[in-house]
Amino acid sequence: MRAAIFDAPLSIRMAEAPKPEPRMGEVLVRVKAAGLCAGDLYIYTGKNPYVTYPRIGCHEIAGVVEAYGAGTTGPAIGTRVVVDPFIGCGHCYPCRIGKRNCCANLTIVGVHREGGFADFVTAPAQNLNLVPETLTDFEAAFAEPVAIGVQGCRRGMVTAEDNLLVLGAGPIGLAIVEVARAAGAKVYATDLSAERLSTAADLGAIPVAGGAGLLERVHEITNGEGMPVVMEATGAAPAMEQTIDLVAAGGRIVILGLVKKGQGITFPGLDFTRKEVTILGSRASVDCFPEALALLASGKIHYPKIASSFALGEAPDVFQKLAENPMALHKAVFIPED
């Protein structure tokens, strides 16, 4: 099969790779659409702390069921599906309490095992989710990033009563904007990029200019109280540290951004008690795909409309372009050639 293979940081090539064989409990999926995530870009730039090389990346996968491993059953051959890429061991403490996304022995499709930048990919059959008939394969590939937005909003207990500030209007920040708005929240977004901020505004967020003076602007909006919910999606340490200043007393902070392994984050110790703030991490998603797919099918998520489609063979050029300018594209989705 054809595949885009990361050999090392800043090295990706198109090559022939062995077609994977599904083992017992697994399914073989013919890939129809494969989304490029910030995590994939981090694999390319060498900033992903979890990946091993060489690796076929991609964990945002839509396709059709091609075959099953021995003794394995599931949706009929030819059924359109998306793959939940997080595979828990089922035995560790996080798995026992329903948090397999934080599994102590976690395996991620496209990070620890071969992913969807290829004609075919294997995954546990239990990780399949059916695609609503109204969605195209291209749209279905957005289920995974939208699910991250669903998870973040669940962690932050976002409701229609909340005012919410999203730090970062990249792919994940935009997913949070749309999921939170679908829940009825009033959503503000900030970013250093005027172009990204404009995109967030197009999706319904109230733009707030980032950079110097952000805290003063937030206090002006909130009459000095701060935001009830602050969701960080930049992956930048200074932004993470600023969340404690931006959040209202009694409010919630949700950190979704990924920093390099060993990177420290500092919060003023007194503010933990002075503000009695709740600080939450949010990693990927767990049991959020059904809601994500339902939101996409409902028409409440407009994110796919601002994305760009490329042939899989263009992957090396697209990754080089994004490494040079991460804001060159809002979102890229690769389509394997038939």
317: DSSP letter: H
Do the Cβ atoms of 236 and 257 come closer than 8 Å?
Answer: yes
The pLDDT tens digits for 21-32 are 999 999 999 999
Query: Closest by alpha carbon to 208, among 168, 156, 162, 176?
Result: 168
pLDDT at 176 over 90: yes
Laid out side by side, the sheet with 163-167 consists of: 206-209, 186-191, 163-167, 227-232, 247-255, 278-281
- pLDDT at position 260 is 78
Out of 44-48, 131-135, 281-285, 287-291, pick the least confident: 44-48
Q: Does residue 10 sit in helix, strand or coil?
A: coil
Q: What is the mean pLDDT of residues 48-54?
A: 89
pLDDT band at 48 (very low <50, low <70, confident <90, very high): confident
pLDDT band at 338 (very low <50, low <70, confident <90, very high): confident
| Spatial CA neighbour of 184 closest among 152, 207, 168, 161 | 161
Give the model's confidence band at 330: pLDDT under 50 very low, under 70 low, under 90 confident, else very high: confident
Confidence of residue 245 (pLDDT cuts 50, 70, 90): very high
Copy the structure tokens of residue 237: 């340490």
**With bands split at pLDDT 50, 70 and 90, how would you rate the model's confidence at 38?**
confident
Q: Whole-number mean pLDDT of the chain?
A: 96
Q: What is the pTM of this model?
A: 0.94
- Give the ranges where the chain is alpha helix by DSSP (H): 38-45, 93-96, 137-140, 143-155, 171-182, 194-202, 214-221, 237-246, 269-274, 289-298, 315-324
Query: 141: pLDDT confidence band, cut at 50, 70 and 90?
Result: very high
Average pLDDT score over residue span 317-331: 92
Q: Which residues contact 128 (CB under 8 A, 6 or more apart)?
A: 27, 29, 65, 74, 75, 81, 82, 83, 84
3-state helix/strand/coil string of 263-302: CCCCCCHHHHHHCCCEEEECCCCCCCHHHHHHHHHHCCCC
